[in-house]
Amino acid sequence: MRPSPLPALLTLALATSAQAAPVVEAEPSRLVLGPRARAEITVRNAGAGLHAVVSTGTLTAGTSGEDFTRFFWTPAPEARAPTLVLFAFWTGESPTLADVTVLALPCAGRTELAIETEPTAQVTVEVAGARFGPRRADRQGRLKLPVEVGPHAHEARVIAELADQSKIRVLPLSLPPSPWLIGLAPESSVEGAPVHALVVVPDTEESAGTELVAEGGKVEREQEAGRRLFLRVTPEPGRSAVPLVARTLDGSVRAQKTLEVVRAVGPAAEPAPPPPPPPARWVLGGAVGGYVGGGSNAGPQGAFVVGYGLRNLPVVLELELGVRSQSLSTQVGTLGVQDSTLLLFPVELAVRWEAVSLGTFRLGVRAGGGLLPGSHHLSSNFDASLGEAVLGWEVFAAVQAGLRVGSVEPYLEVRPALSKVSTDHLEARPGGGVFSVGVRGELR
């Protein structure tokens, strides 16, 4: 005798309005666990952003059409115990219970009952309204009868018939509790933002109470309808994951899930197109060194250089503001010692051609000229001192070799220069060979 059909267990679960909730149906509406067990779940009336959660087993997306989305559910390979599988579907990231459709799929376990009764009795077993048998016991009154036990079964009624007698025995069935469902909306917390946790307790649950415990998070109850709860889970600062445990009040764990805390990922920042380089470039630099022009035409020198050029041209127009110093001290007959000191502040214009650029190596050629204003000072130990302003001139050509290091360019310069400073009391050529070590960089 086949067990009577179970009542339809497709639960369009909502106590409140399900108008916004998806419509879900399962085919078949009940299952017997085994290697080939599989259910097809069809979701209709779902908008974009459909979320699907299952309490056990694996839910995979199947084909989808314009007005439906299909999933396939398969139990865990080792699952044999009767269980009530819960599914929850909703759309959007901030659902309420009214937006959630819960489907319960009863999954029966197949087992073989070992029965001891009267010899040769005709035995029938009823489990949750389904009848198995009849089958006759052997002469010792033993038999084994395969039965299917659904998740709602609490007992098996064994009916033994012998001649005109009938005996009924009730065998209590102890079934493992069905797992609860935990769903998160959204599925992870962004930067510790609170998420909604949906907890659905199957109607097979016999223990009282429901609670959700978050290790490293704060749980607040938001909404409750029957055995369905919406809770608000807020991760503690600094947490990267928050384990969630749904359990009964006596501490029996029914479901576990981990809430991941993710860092906010901004929309992939499209690399900003590099700003077009300005058409002109400014170059700042400085150099120190010395010069040798014969006799006492020698001394230290330094310069500050400001350059301006077009970015697409290897030519830079430069203004050079420098300083040079030279002196002479000599015995004059029997009079005494005469000192002559010349201090100049060259102001020159030059054109620099960046002739060679190989890797970091740079070779440049310069040419220019300018004025050499300054002062000349005569002093001795036999007459009064004299200071006079001087103004000379210089023309030069130069070769520079440099290395580009990051945004700066150290360089060496050798400058043959023709220069002259002349007064009634002075004749000097503060040029000749000018040698410099410098560094420059472009302003960005």
Does 427 interact with other proteins (rule: CB under 8 A)?
Answer: yes
Query: Which among 135-143, 191-199, 252-260, 419-427 is the span making contact with other proteins, rule CB under 8 A?
Result: 419-427
Closest to other proteins by CB, 243 vs 300, is 300
- Report the C-alpha gap between 202 and 9 in whole angstroms: 12
Does 18 interact with other proteins (rule: CB under 8 A)?
Answer: no
Token couple for 311: 């970015």
DSSP annotation of 405 reads: B
Does 256 interact with other proteins (rule: CB under 8 A)?
Answer: no
- Report the C-alpha gap between 388 and 176 in whole angstroms: 112
SS (H, E, C) 209-249: CCEEEECCEEEEEEEEECCEEEEEEEECCCCCEEEEEEECC
**Minimal distance, residue 436 CB to other proteins, in Å:** 21
Does 434 interact with other proteins (rule: CB under 8 A)?
Answer: no
Query: Which among 219-227, 247-255, 344-352, 426-434 is the span making contact with other proteins, rule CB under 8 A?
Result: 426-434
What SS3 class is residue 99?
helix
Does 392 interact with other proteins (rule: CB under 8 A)?
Answer: yes
Among 313, 382, 416, 443, binds other proteins (CB under 8 A): 382
**Minimal distance, residue 332 CB to other proteins, in Å:** 5
Beta bridge partners of 22: none
Among 190, 243, 422, 437, binds other proteins (CB under 8 A): 422
Q: How many chain residues bind other proteins (CB under 8 A)?
A: 42
**Alpha carbon distance, N-terminus to C-terminus of the chain:** 92
Among 100, 108, 198, 428, binds other proteins (CB under 8 A): 428
Closest to other proteins by CB, 223 vs 379, is 379
Closest to other proteins by CB, 221 vs 420, is 420
Among 152, 247, 429, 440, binds other proteins (CB under 8 A): 429
- Report the C-alpha gap between 35 and 62 in whole angstroms: 20
Site for other proteins in 278-307 (CB under 8 A): 293-297
- The residues near 293 (Cβ < 8 Å, ≥ 6 apart) are 417, 419, 429, 430, 431, 432, 433
Does 66 interact with other proteins (rule: CB under 8 A)?
Answer: no
DSSP annotation of 279 reads: S
Query: Which among 168-176, 211-219, 274-282, 372-380 is the span making contact with other proteins, rule CB under 8 A?
Result: 372-380
- Report the C-alpha gap between 30 and 377 in whole angstroms: 114
Does 423 interact with other proteins (rule: CB under 8 A)?
Answer: yes
Strand intervals (E) in 163-205: 165-172, 181-185, 188-190, 195-200
Does 360 interact with other proteins (rule: CB under 8 A)?
Answer: no
Residue in 9, 151, 181, 191 with CA at minimum distance from that of residue 90:
181
Written as one letter, the residue type at 9 is L
Query: Which among 45-53, 132-140, 325-333, 410-418 is the span making contact with other proteins, rule CB under 8 A?
Result: 325-333
Which residues are at the interface with other proteins (CB under 8 A)? 293-297, 326, 328, 330, 332-336, 338, 340, 342, 376, 378, 380-393, 421-430
